């Protein structure tokens, strides 16, 4: 049988297909699909983000946006005096907002003077901080300088429990979990971590077990305390520490309740919940009671918008025990790539989230961390995604309008094209999805974040000293004036 005609026919078809592709390529869009390969396992997209995108009217035209951006770039930002402290004016381009972190910096200053005091940070984020990445490095840098041991608040269950190195946890599979990403009306209010858990399996044991990790300043579980919510019925929990079992009662009388497991430091323990099916369980806190403590409240797929659903009364209940000085909102990864570069809707939603933080944690300082660089394939070349800068500017705007500090993570890591460099360099500092950092990169980002915050703190100390010098001079002048008047009065009476 002669196969040559079939060979030439097949070759002709391939050649024609190639020529057709070259022709069609001229009219195809530069970007068809993302180059990223996303593992959909355990990935959530919060319902509020999807609703906001679906309902977005995109009321602002691109010309209006460009004009507004040009005006804001030229505007000088002058800060109002806070407790005698006034940072130098800034422009929108270089905005950092140290002025709005004054109360946090004062707490650090008091801690530096008195090592027995305490400073606490709540770090809310998305998959960028999954597995305690970035946050554990911010925590280590602060504890290295100001003291403190412990990983802070840890949820009952977590998608990243198996990959987190700063604390090891395993748990039974029969926990009922509700998250603020996909539940609008939880059975009981969400906790400070955006979750609520129920041990509602009456047949099988419901348990969680923790073991200290190997991270510096987190090699023990310090003063473990259980946090749980309000319910009509009491319950019990058995803590197994080594060969000992501690049986304790759960008395869910308040919106937020706490139960100390044991004092001091331990390496591991297991908690078995008994007849506690109706009690909302939130998680455990681990800290040694002094220094700096940083809680990681990361959640994959989170845009930050669900924070606006927090119950402020419940959050104040947590704050009465944990006493937060700074709340960090680190989002952006899940807000990109929705077919728009107008993020007015996101600004509006996140201002509501910031307002809820202020209502929930009165007097707390707030820091907004922008999206990092993210790369997408355009014309067969990986470049900074065209939505990154518009989103970063939107985040900067709501930080400024809500009087929050701001970290421009996009420029901090190098700006345009930096994610490609972080992926391609040897050794690499980011993953091949051109979105997320690996452990090496996360450590570098954690240090960059800490350095910017610390730079503001060092400037604060200089401004504080100048304020105190002026205050001492004014007091001395008033005293001298008072003494002068007293001398004159004595002369008159003589």
pLDDT, mean of residues 324-331: 98
Q: Confidence class of residue 480 from pLDDT cuts 50, 70 and 90?
A: confident
Q: Residue 480, SS3?
A: helix
pLDDT score, position 431: 97
Give the Å distances, CA to CA, from 464 to 87, 102, 178, 326: 10, 10, 45, 19
The answer to whether residue 39 scores a pLDDT higher than 90 is no
Q: Confidence class of residue 476 from pLDDT cuts 50, 70 and 90?
A: confident
Q: Confidence class of residue 95 from pLDDT cuts 50, 70 and 90?
A: very high
Q: Confidence class of residue 29 from pLDDT cuts 50, 70 and 90?
A: very low
Q: Confidence class of residue 49 from pLDDT cuts 50, 70 and 90?
A: low
Q: Residue 349, SS3?
A: helix
Q: Confidence class of residue 470 from pLDDT cuts 50, 70 and 90?
A: confident
Q: Confidence class of residue 40 from pLDDT cuts 50, 70 and 90?
A: very low
The answer to whether residue 193 scores a pLDDT higher than 90 is yes
Q: Residue 152, SS3?
A: strand
With a CB cutoff of 8 Å and minimum separation 6, the contacts of 127 are: 43, 298, 300, 301, 333, 334, 436
pLDDT, mean of residues 270-277: 95
> Can you give the pTM of this predicted structure?
0.86
- How does pLDDT run across 393-414, given as a tens digit for each residue? 999 999 999 999 999 999 999 9
Contact 331, 303 (CB under 8 A): yes
- How does pLDDT run across 232-256, given as a tens digit for each residue? 999 999 999 999 999 999 999 999 9
Give the Å distances, CA to CA, from 370 to 2, 55, 411, 472: 66, 24, 10, 40
Domains and CATH numbers, the chain: 34-154+289-493 (3.40.50.1110)
């Amino acid at each position: 049988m002669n196969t040559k005609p079939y060979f030439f026919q097949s070759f002709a078809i391939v050649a024609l297909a190639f020529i057709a592709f070259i022709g069609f390529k001229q009219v195809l869009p530069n970007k068809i699909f993302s180059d990223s390969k996303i593992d959909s396992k355990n990935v959530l997209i919060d319902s509020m983000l999807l609703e906001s995108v679906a309902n977005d009217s995109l009321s602002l035209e691109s010309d209006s946006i460009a004009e507004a951006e040009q005006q804001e770039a030229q505007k000088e930002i002058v800060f109002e005096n806070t407790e005698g402290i006034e940072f130098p004016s800034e422009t929108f381009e270089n905005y950092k907002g140290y002025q709005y972190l004054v109360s946090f910096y004062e707490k650090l200053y008091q801690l530096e003077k008195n090592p027995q005091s305490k400073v606490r940070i709540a770090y809310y984020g998305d998959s960028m901080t999954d597995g305690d990445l970035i946050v554990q490095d911010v925590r280590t840098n602060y504890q290295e300088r100001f003291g403190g041991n412990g990983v802070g608040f840890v949820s009952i269950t977590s998608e990243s429990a198996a990959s987190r190195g700063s604390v090891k946890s395993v748990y039974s599979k029969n926990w009922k979990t509700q998250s603020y990403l996909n539940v609008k009306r939880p059975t009981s209010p969400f906790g400070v971590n955006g979750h609520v858990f129920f041990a509602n399996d009456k047949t099988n044991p419901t348990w969680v077990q923790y073991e200290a990790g190997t991270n510096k300043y987190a090699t023990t579980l310090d003063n473990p305390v259980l946090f749980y919510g309000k319910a009509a019925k009491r319950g019990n929990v058995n803590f197994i520490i080594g060969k000992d079992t501690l049986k304790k009662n759960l008395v869910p009388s308040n919106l937020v309740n706490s139960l100390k497991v044991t004092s001091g430091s331990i390496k591991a323990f297991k908690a078995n919940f008994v007849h506690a099916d109706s009690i909302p369980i939130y998680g455990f806190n681990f800290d040694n009671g002094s220094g700096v403590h940083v809680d990681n409240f990361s959640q994959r797929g989170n845009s930050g918008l669900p924070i606006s659903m927090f119950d402020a009364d419940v959050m104040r209940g947590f704050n009465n025990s944990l006493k937060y000085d700074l709340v960090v909102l680190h989002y952006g990864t899940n807000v990109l790539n929705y077919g728009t570069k107008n993020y007015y809707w996101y600004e509006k939603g996140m201002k509501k989230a910031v307002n809820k933080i202020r209502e929930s944690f009165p007097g707390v300082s707030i820091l907004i961390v922008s999206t990092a660089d993210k790369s997408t394939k355009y014309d067969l070349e990986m470049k900074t995604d065209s939505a990154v800068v518009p989103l970063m500017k939107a985040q900067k705007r709501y930080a400024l309008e809500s009087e929050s500090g701001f970290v421009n993570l996009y420029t901090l890591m190098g700006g345009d094209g930096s994610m490609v460099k972080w992926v391609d360099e040897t050794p690499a500092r980011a993953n091949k999805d051109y979105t997320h950092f690996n452990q090496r990169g996360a450590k570098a980002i954690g240090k960059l974040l800490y350095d910017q915050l610390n730079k503001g703190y060092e400037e604060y100390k200089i401004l504080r000293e100048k304020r105190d010098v002026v205050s001492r001079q004014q007091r001395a002048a008033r005293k001298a004036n008072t003494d002068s008047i007293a001398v004159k009065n004595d002369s008159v009476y003589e």
